[in-house]
Chains A and B, each alone.
Chain A
Amino acid sequence: MSENDLELVRKALDGNRAAFDQLVRRSVPRVFGIIHRFFNERQVVEDLAQEAFIKAYTALASYRQERPFGNWLAVITVRLCYQELRKRRARKEHLESELVPDDATALDGFCTVYADTTRPGPEKQAQLRDLTDKVLDRLSPRERMVLVLTEVEGLSVKEVAEMLGMTRINVKVSNHRARKHALKILLTLSQGVKS
């Protein structure tokens, strides 16, 4: 943790709101980035980000400086995302929609994106995102969390275990199952769209 973050935390604990505001502005890209991995709707991203910062503000006294402030805030954010995924799952809001013609293009893209040395353009990326969301929406919240945190965020098994309060073995098992499950869904969907 940089000295400045620690100083800002101390000032914020003394009631200095400007110091907390500075911490918020520094952390916004990371917090938004994490939430955006799970939720594509802009309003949801903003609402959850606000909730994360409010939780951090109210729990600031419990923050221990051995861990970087950004990581502590990331844990709060990840757990909020997990709760939201579970709530949506309970309300059965996860998508079960069928594939659309755009997804067929995205599936073709799936085969070539690996080989593509250039970044996908905004349109192609939107198609890929839609298709990936459709696949990951069919996973359990835990599988989805573990898969995205390891494969996309690039976090280690140890980090994911700490964030989600799981054992390392459970994270490894969940990751393996999630990949297997996602590929199965992808193949099922692709058979549907190809036929």
Chain B
Amino acid sequence: MRAPCAKTSDIWARFKQSGVLDSDDQDELKNHLAGCALCRAFVYERSFRAHVKAAYGDAVPEPSPGFYTALNMKLDDVERGREAGLFAELIGQLGIKLAPALAALVIVLSGTAAFLSREETAAAGSYTAEDTILFETVPVSADLVIDAVMGDDL
């Protein structure tokens, strides 16, 4: 950065020495800076930190009356979500641990069901539609019944 004008240098030197910029110097500097970009850059650069600090200050906003209540409600939601998550996790973990047993149980049950249905089919298979018709058309006589009960022994 190029050196500022002599006027600004003088004012700045006085300020650095005394730590105070009197009102005459302030006015003179302001008027000069209005028309001199070089000196503006010089002063801005040196006062930047102080300016930014002053702009943001130490004042911190206080929380509004509803701040803590709203926060607690949100934390309650987090808690509920966490509990629901834990339950789901528990179920999930149980599922993983019991999966082989459940799979085995399903296989056994389906095997049993298949076996039973096959027996039923086999039993049902001893009669055909024709037999049904035969039963319906052949009159049942007393001899036939006696034959069936006693066999050929008579």
A residues with CB within 8 A of B: 17, 20-21, 24-25, 28-29, 32-33, 36-37, 42, 45-46, 49-50, 53-54, 57-58, 108, 110-117, 119-120, 125, 128-129, 131-132, 147-148, 151-152, 179, 182-183, 186-187, 190-191, 194
Contact = CB atoms under 8 A, between A and B. Distances in A.
B94 interface: no
Contact of A50 (B30, B41, B45, B70): B70
6 contacts: A46-B64, A110-B47, A111-B40, A112-B21, A117-B19, A129-B55
Contacts of A117: 19-20
B50 to A, nearest CB: 4
Given A21-B68, A49-B63, A57-B78, A125 B21 contact: no
Contact of B48 (A25, A115, A179, A194): A179
Nearest to B67: A46
A54 B64 CA distance: 17
B63 to A, nearest CB: 6
Interface string B50-81: 11111111011111100110111011001000
A179 B51 CA distance: 12
A21 B72 contact: yes
Most A CB contacts (10 A, CB to CB) among B40, B43, B45, B62 go to B40
Given A29-B60, A115-B26, A120-B54, A187 B78 contact: no
A113 B50 contact: yes
B26 to A, nearest CB: 5
Contacts of B44: 110-111, 183, 186-187, 190
A91 B10 CA distance: 47
B40 A28 contact: no
A37 B48 contact: no
Interface string B11-42: 00001000111000010011001110100110
A40 to B, nearest CB: 9
B151 to A, nearest CB: 84
Given A114-B50, A191-B37, A152 B56 contact: yes
A159 to B, nearest CB: 17
B46 interface: yes
Contacts of B26: 111-112, 115
A111 B31 CA distance: 11
B48 A182 contact: yes
B2 interface: no
Contacts of A128: 51, 54-55
A132 B60 CA distance: 17
A187 B37 contact: yes
Contacts of B70: 50
B52 A33 contact: no
Contact of A114 (B47, B57, B63, B67): B47
B60 A36 contact: yes
A125 B68 contact: no
B33 A111 contact: yes
B49 interface: yes
